[in-house]
Chains A and B, each alone.
Chain A
């Protein structure tokens, strides 16, 4: 598995391959099914591992979005409501998105578990796909400079392990400076827009590091499946 195509063959055909290592900023306004799109993009294939860092949904909700596969969740919201909740093999908790120290430590633990899991199964090393849902939430708690520094290190780790990272950001919640700062960490940008007068249908464009922008792709979700409209 060396390219990001699981579940989105049609998108792949239209915007080209997104090859690892990649860090992709997913710019999506609210009500655009950004999580579902991101989860579809990071859905694990056979030997792959998906890690979701969630500030917006609890771990069971995240798991429900994946039909199996090796999925690990770093849940940043449950512990504030249930302080006694304990880490499990697949789910780690941090107290809030403000706890970048805890987040980094738990992310390292998950990567260790991923590595051990691969060694235990004696399988060919799979790809690690990470979804950060969402940068917008992190920016509520922590200023841009610290977030930039943190994700600078974070995205470098993803690059080093030849992984793929998808980072969701609501462009309406931040200013242009924030977006252009965070873009510096990325190798591509997926920009999602709603289609006026066509509820449930969205348009995405992909811009790679060279600045090349794909033609718009109209898509919608039918159940759990992402369906791409013919041009």
Chain B
């Protein structure tokens, strides 16, 4: 297994890429997603695999310089073979070169490097070769050769067409994983997303998952708006404080004598769960903040709906907020705070009060306990990344 090195993605893939697999990574123009192949190369190299990097668009020095100073910099030149623009020119620029002769040239090169240098993993930046041979022909050539030789193949492809083009390629060439990287995520136009278009060895829903590129060049999957809502004094602010450490909170002492949120709580952007960065936003809970709650729920990537499991008097207000959550359509988990206390209302009564069907899991926990709070978040991220009802 070769991890891609992006934990959220590896988690979805069941740990990474089985050796001998064929992987196509399709990038939309202008979208920063080169980190996927960079990360996979870094990961394979760290595993001690013998990697061939075919990079026809530039020189080896430029390619390595681009990696240096990023989290994907290669630690040594051991076990690395490069075929760069000069190799491309040699194959493509031969007098009387034809697509057939060029295809034979690449096949011979790969076969000899596998035999002589023990190359077992190939990283191909294919666009120039696709330009020379034809896209389908070039991808089929490398896929067939790697399959025959038992090599793992990672391909980066700049898709100048649309999603149908990738679907057609995926249907005609037997890639084991097809991953697309595209622009935007729902209403968050400043984010980009990746999407597993095809996966042979497991079932993963075909949904876009957003990511950001950090200043150091690291690709970080990112859930931009996880809303924590529920009635007043449910423990929302405590939950955010426990998880984030340094939250920007907007609580004031309320009528009950305890702090209550009067606008919105924002968790640190570096709450991490299942390889995702999450931004937590806590809503106030009182009835008169109803319009604000609805506003804050708009475009939520996911919702932690929280209720104090010992406070049956709050269930009526909880039901009203939960109805809003359901109406907005975002995936949600039901977190039952103070779930560790003996006076907790039985699940059956809570389900009845909130009109929750039996197949909606309840997550009893304590908002004061990091591990338990993280368990709630983990359940939500699992729901967001694996649900099948959203395209």
Contacts and interface: CB of A to CB of B under 8 A. Distances in A.
17 contacts: A80-B59, A83-B64, A95-B57, A95-B62, A98-B56, A99-B58, A100-B57, A100-B160, A101-B27, A102-B57, A104-B30, A104-B158, A105-B31, A146-B127, A146-B160, A153-B29, A153-B160
Contacts of B27: 101
Interface of B: 27, 29-32, 34, 56-59, 61-66, 69, 85, 125, 127-128, 131, 156, 158, 160-161
Given A83-B61, A96-B57, 19 more contacts: A83-B59, A83-B65, A86-B69, A95-B62, A95-B66, A96-B85, A99-B57, A100-B57, A100-B158, A100-B160, A101-B127, A101-B156, A102-B57, A104-B29, A105-B30, A105-B31, A150-B160, A152-B160, A153-B29
A78 to B, nearest CB: 10
A84 B85 CA distance: 18
Contacts of B59: 80, 83, 95
Interface in A141-189: 141-143, 146, 149-150, 152-154, 157
Contact of B30 (A79, A80, A108): A108
Interface in A31-60: none
A141 to B, nearest CB: 8
Contacts of B158: 100-101, 104
Contacts of A100: 29, 57, 127, 158, 160
Given A83-B59, A96-B58, A142 B128 contact: yes
Which secondary structure dominates where chain A touches chain B? helix
Contacts of B128: 98, 141-142
Contact of A107 (B30, B64, B66, B127): B30
Contact of A157 (B30, B65, B85, B160): B30
Contact of B160 (A80, A105, A149): A149
B62 A80 contact: yes
Contacts of A105: 30-32, 34
Across the A-B interface, the 6 shortest Cβ-Cβ residue pairs: A95-B58, A149-B160, A104-B30, A83-B65, A95-B62, A83-B61
Nearest to A150: B160
A166 B138 CA distance: 33
Nearest to A105: B32
Nearest to A108: B30
B219 to A, nearest CB: 12
A147 to B, nearest CB: 10
Interface string A85-102: 010000000011011111
Given A101-B27, A101-B158, A149-B160, A108 B63 contact: no
